[in-house]
Amino acid sequence: MRVIGQGPIRSTIRVGYSFNNSKFIQDIQLYFELPRIDVRVFMNWQGRNIMVKAAIPVALENPVATFEIPFGAINRPPTGNEVPTVKLI
């Protein structure tokens, strides 16, 4: 883990790890005076017949996840369970 960018608007932390022959890099961007965190994941996936899932554990008060569905959006509690969705907003 190392800091790869630090400025007046945001800072970026890079985390690298591997699984079997695959390599992953996560860039975590933290913003100054903005309640937002961006996570970018870059991977060199070498696995076969193995599904990749991402989990980003965070501690939030009263979290809500907003999911895009056909013709609208719906709020659901972020339980970690998989649910059908077009995309997470």
**pLDDT tens track for 24-64:** 999 999 999 888 888 888 999 988 888 787 777 778 787 88
Residues of 66-76 as b/e, b for ≥16 C-beta within 10 angstroms?
A: ebeeeeeeeee
**pLDDT tens track for 2-25:** 999 998 999 999 999 998 889 999
pTM equals 0.64
Give domain limits for the chain. Answer: 1-45, 59-89
Half-sphere exposure of 78 (CA within 13 A, CB side): 15
For 64, list phi and psi in degrees, rounded to 5.
Answer: -140, 135
Distance separating alpha carbons of residues 64 and 17, to the nearest angstrom:
29
Decide: 43 and 23 in contact? Cβ < 8 Å. Answer: yes
